[in-house]
Amino acid sequence: MKNSIQKVGFVSLGCPKAGSDSERILTQLRAEGYQISSSYEDSDLVVVNTCGFIDSAVQESLDAIGEALNKNGKVIVTGCLGAKKDVVTSAHPSVLAVTGPHAMEEVMTHVHAHLPKPHDPYTDLVPPQGIRLTPNHYAYLKISEGCNHRCSFCIIPSLRGDLVSRPIGEVMNEAEALVNAGVSEILVISQDTSAYGVDVKYRTGFWNGRPLKTHMTALSKALGELGVWVRLHYVYPYPHVDEVIPLMAEGAILPYLDVPFQHASPRILKLMKRPASSENNLTRIKAWRDVCPEIAIRSTFIVGFPGETEDDFQQLLDFMEEAQLDRVGAFTYSAVDGAKANELPDHVPEEVKQERLSRFMEVQERISAAKLQAKVGRIQTVLVDEITTDDSDNIIAIARTKADAPEIDGVVYLQDAEGLNPGDFVDVQILGADGHDLVGGPPED
């Protein structure tokens, strides 16, 4: 017989934005007195937060739902795949309920219907910063949901809807609670961080009684006062992005911009229907570096988009040589079910896509390696993520510089790391570099 504590199993799939949804649902479950169980068998019900972005993610989500049904039987589905309810219910007709993404209230309604709220909610057991899935020393801060753009390769707006900005006071309260709980780095995420506040006409909100505009610049300034690392992700190169670069130069926020350029040929950017596609990005990058020479720029690109000619691709390579970006991710175009780009003519043959991707990576790897090599000998402040041991049982730390976001960029390996702990900031000297990561040690006198 199960005991009287209601236990909920939770499976979280997908990107950091989905992870942030999971954290909210988990926090609410704990706030209402449910216990989070780590096994299907021991749970009274399972919530599966799904991803529906590409075919392999859909399959992974359907498999996870199937496993939860087999081992437990009572399953509520939420998340991006939940927006396509029929895909879920035709594969798994016995699920209890299906909701779309960012639907914490709806999920809780279904949980209440199938597993009544415990009588005595242990609200005092929930830490004020909520339940987080990331390590204790860094946290993602989601500032908005959805997106007003309609990039032709993307189905996120149809899954997550139009932009809805969270009130700035609420965002800042969450950030402050995270810092009070010991977080050393806040990573600002959304689908389009530069668009923060557009939907509410940059309405003025309040944080600790102080008026603040719902705008990326005001938010960055306020976050910069919290005394931790603040990193901006998914920033489109609109003119007002220039306003946050001085904050980076002053050290208020990290000198790091994650700008998903996706391509450099104006013709392809137009076919992609990219936001800010008419901006002269090379000029912008140069101006940013003039104001903040230390800035690290990360970006992602799609190679082999429908209609991409050799000439378009060459423009992309020329851009890479000129832009000298610090960190780059690249993918070949792959058709996402429901994306408008599938209807475009002149799809690029798979072998041409692969050949272009390897030429692209060759150029970028050379640039990234040279950029890392230029750091050798310099003193850098790093944030320790993990303490581990090497093959000879020496204690080493895995850390990151200001130029490296967790999970997507490189790391710094620190030898002789006794006494260091995750979340510590430490000044180190960079002793070596390979194509992706750095090795560091105590600064020489």
Q: Which is nearer to ligand SF4, 179 or 264 (CB)?
A: 264
Question: Minimum distance from CB of 124 to ligand SF4 (Å)?
Answer: 38
Stretch that binds ligand SF4, among 23-31, 110-118, 152-160, 423-431 (CB under 6 A): 152-160
Q: Which is nearer to ligand SF4, 157 or 441 (CB)?
A: 157
Stretch that binds ligand SF4, among 149-157, 297-305, 323-331, 352-360 (CB under 6 A): 149-157
Binding mask 232-271 for ligand SF4 (x = CB under 6 A): ----------------------------------------
Q: With beta carbons less than 8 A apart as the criterion, state whether 220 and 230 touch.
A: yes
The verdict on 157 binding ligand SF4 (CB under 6 A) reads yes
φ/ψ of 329, rounded to 5, equals -115, 145
Question: Minimum distance from CB of 53 to ligand SF4 (Å)?
Answer: 10
Provide the angle, in degrees to the nearest 10, between the axes of the packed helices 350-373 and 310-323: 10
Length of the chain: 445
The verdict on 397 binding ligand SF4 (CB under 6 A) reads no
Of residues 11, 29, 58, 147, which one binds ligand SF4 by CB under 6 A?
Answer: 147
Q: Which is nearer to ligand SF4, 85 or 149 (CB)?
A: 149
Tokens 């300034």 identify what position?
221
The verdict on 192 binding ligand SF4 (CB under 6 A) reads yes
The verdict on 436 binding ligand SF4 (CB under 6 A) reads no
What 3-state class would DSSP assign to 191? coil
The verdict on 151 binding ligand SF4 (CB under 6 A) reads yes
DSSP letters for 230-264: EEE-S----GGGGGGHHHHHHTSS-SEEE---B--
CA distances from 433 to 298, 326, 366, 374 (A): 18, 14, 13, 9
Question: Minimum distance from CB of 191 to ligand SF4 (Å)?
Answer: 4
Question: Minimum distance from CB of 429 to ligand SF4 (Å)?
Answer: 39
Question: Minimum distance from CB of 302 to ligand SF4 (Å)?
Answer: 10
The verdict on 22 binding ligand SF4 (CB under 6 A) reads no
**Cα(388)–Cα(399) distance, rounded to whole angstroms?**
11
The verdict on 154 binding ligand SF4 (CB under 6 A) reads yes
Stretch that binds ligand SF4, among 147-155, 288-296, 330-338, 368-376 (CB under 6 A): 147-155
- At residue 341's C-alpha, the angle toward residues 338 and 342, to 5°, is 65
CA distances from 305 to 155, 349, 357, 361 (A): 16, 10, 11, 16
**Cα(435)–Cα(440) distance, rounded to whole angstroms?**
15
Question: Minimum distance from CB of 413 to ligand SF4 (Å)?
Answer: 33
**Cα(177)–Cα(126) distance, rounded to whole angstroms?**
12
**Cα(380)–Cα(255) distance, rounded to whole angstroms?**
13
The verdict on 156 binding ligand SF4 (CB under 6 A) reads yes
8: left (phi over 0), alpha (psi -120 to 50) or beta: beta
Question: Minimum distance from CB of 200 to ligand SF4 (Å)?
Answer: 18
Q: Which is nearer to ligand SF4, 117 or 150 (CB)?
A: 150
What 3-state class would DSSP assign to 50? strand
Question: Minimum distance from CB of 277 to ligand SF4 (Å)?
Answer: 11
Q: Which helix (H) or strand (E) holds 367?
A: helix 350-373
Q: Which is nearer to ligand SF4, 157 or 307 (CB)?
A: 157
The verdict on 159 binding ligand SF4 (CB under 6 A) reads no
DSSP symbol at 200: G
Q: What does the binding site for ligand SF4 look like in residue numbers (CB under 6 A)? A: 147, 149-151, 154, 156-157, 191-192, 275
